[in-house]
Amino acid sequence: MAHLGSRRTRALTLPVGLALTASLGFLPTSIASAAPADGSPSATASADGPKLSYVINTRANRGQVKQVVKAVERAGGTVVIAYDRIGVIVAHSQNPEFARTIRKVKGVDSAGATRTNPIVPQATKDIGVEQPLTAAQERAAAAEAADGQDPLEPLQWDLSAIKADEAHKRTLGSSKVTVAVIDTGVDDTHPDLAPNFDRSASANCVSGAPDTTEGSWRPAAGESDHGTHVAGTIAAAKNGVGVTGVAPGVKVAGIKVANPSGFFYTESVVCGFVWAAEHGVDVTNNSYYTDPWMYNCKNDPDQAALVEAVTRASRYAESRGTVNVAAAGNSAEDLAADTIEDSTSPNDTETVDRTIDPKQCLDIPTMLPGVVTVSATGAKGLKASYSNYGNGVIDVAAPGGDSTVYQTPAPPATSGLILSTLPGGKFGYKAGTSMASPHVAGVVALIKSKHPYASAAAVKALLVAEADATACGEPYDIDGDGTVDAVCEGGKKYNGFYGAGVVNALNAVRW
């Protein structure tokens, strides 16, 4: 089967029919100019290579980080920001030997380049094509809306698929709960998002350091609408306008981590998790993979450092009570297989063909410990044609949409894709595990609303317990050509396609 669209974000296009403050645990960049300590690398380090970004992992304490910051300067690097609470430093350098040099510094656990392309302006790349709703479709949907429904809710088959419509009769969720969309930016001026938007928890993390300038979290003109679509699925307000979110009473924040070219680099993702941790975010949604490697192999010193940095950041967020939810990916891959063929990495320069072991080479943050990994289903409740899967990897499943050729929704819905918000007050369809993950983030927000003092671990346990167990079913031949397209391993209570089952919003507010 052909799977169309970029896999950088977890959305795809299918056939018809994404101010520094002391309270964040940062060390100011001025520390980098302090006098070097004895034994640091030479101050005459070469600076004639391409300018790259690096993460350096140290012990998580202020003194240790401060010493390594000095060494970074001596090695020809410039510190962008230092997250002393997790022991991660972000730096730039044109020294071709910077990573090898800094790895030898006392107190450095690992260090690696976050990209293979120099830090220069890049051509904007499309990472998700929208299918906007027409005026005629909007009028037709509004005519079908029942009392209490938003005008476009009749087209949202995904809400009833997880019983969110029934859950809304009991509660819309608490405004004290915030879900952060770590993504391409969120248009908070959208009339369906503005009532629920949380500016205090929003920022632009593209540089690796947070920028809280008003509107910095929005996608700029020409940038991806991916994050705005994700935000609407989670918390579009039930206000008589447009669509309805899974948890339309909770707050949603935007943490922009994709650069203008659509790349989600490690330093940006680390910033996103730390910002969320320090600003009262209850849930993060992560519908992307961290560029430039689809899978980061721990036997490579650069890639191993990226895994460690994002692991530290996501664990820090969880330690502060945040539940991190992530999309499984759109490659139709078995993430529990012995080997996977990866021909898409690195995606910011020239790709190479490689065979990876998914036990050692991780899609981050999706495959990190503690992260809720989400597969996608279509309108018929089957695994979506494109969705990654894997016994022991997938935690739960949720609607992500699929081609109507494969899974057709019941009327009045007309598309098998997911309808949500788009920048500029618009609405449109997308599909992907990118769209499945925010359904789960919304259900987690409802659980947190019901159990405000529950730990992240307790909320995740409730999410799994309240899911509707879904068996593998018949051999999976989604396109009906007589060939099995994927093998589901496991039993009814837990398997590689659906994990513990399809999430259930009604159970989330009833239990």
pLDDT at position 139 is 79
Does 106 share its domain with 137?
no
Listed residues 83, 113, 143: the one ending a domain = 113
Does 155 share its domain with 77?
no
Question: Across 16-30, 125-139, 194-208, which has the greatest mean pLDDT?
Answer: 194-208
Residue 146: band (very low, low, confident or very high) from pLDDT cuts 50, 70, 90: confident
Tell me whether residue 5 is in a domain. no
Inform me whether the pLDDT recorded for 452 exceeds 70.
yes
Q: How far apart are CA 365 and CA 370, in angstroms?
A: 10
Percent of the chain with pLDDT over 70: 89
Q: Domain count for the chain, please give it.
A: 2
Please count the other Cβ atoms lying within 10 Å of the Cβ belonging to residue 216: 18
Tell me whether residue 433 is in a domain. yes
Encoded amino acid at 338, one letter: D
Does 60 share its domain with 136?
no
Tell me whether residue 2 is in a domain. no
> Quick one: which of 486, 490, 510, 506 has its CA closest to 498?
490
Does 69 share its domain with 144?
no
Does 176 share its domain with 107?
no
- Asked whether the bond before 260 is cis by omega within 30 degrees of 0, the reply is no
Domain that holds residue 56: 22-113
Q: What is the mean pLDDT of residues 418-435?
A: 97
> Quick one: which of 255, 264, 358, 374 has its CA closest to 310?
264
What is the SS3 assignment for 100? helix
- Alpha helices, DSSP H, located in 168-265: 226-235
Calculate the dihedral angle through the C-alpha atoms of 460, 279, 366, 327, rounding to the nearest 10 degrees: 80
What is the pTM (predicted TM-score) of this model? 0.91
E strands, 386-500, are 396-399, 418-422, 426-430
Does 352 share its domain with 488?
yes
What is the SS3 assignment for 88? strand
Does 159 share its domain with 264?
yes
The residue count of the chain comes to 511
Does 220 share its domain with 80?
no
Does 308 share its domain with 206?
yes
Tell me whether residue 16 is in a domain. no
Q: How far is CA 443 from the centre of its chain?
A: 16
Listed residues 113, 147, 168: the one ending a domain = 113
Angle at 483 between CA 482 and CA 489, to 5 degrees: 125
Encoded amino acid at 132, one letter: P
Does 290 share its domain with 362?
yes
Does 284 share its domain with 346?
yes
CATH number at residue 47: 3.30.70
Provide the b/e sequence for 217-239 (b: ≥16 CB within 10 Å).
bbbeeebbbbbbbbbbbbbbbbe
Does 85 share its domain with 198?
no
pLDDT at position 282 is 98
pLDDT in tens, 204-238: 999 999 999 999 999 999 999 999 999 999 999 99
Q: How far is CA 436 from the centre of its chain?
A: 11
CATH number at residue 153: 3.40.50.200
Task: HSE, CB side, 13 Å, CA atoms: give it for residue 367.
Answer: 25
Listed residues 113, 147, 181: the one ending a domain = 113
Q: How far apart are CA 457 and CA 185, in angstroms?
A: 28
Residue 134: band (very low, low, confident or very high) from pLDDT cuts 50, 70, 90: confident
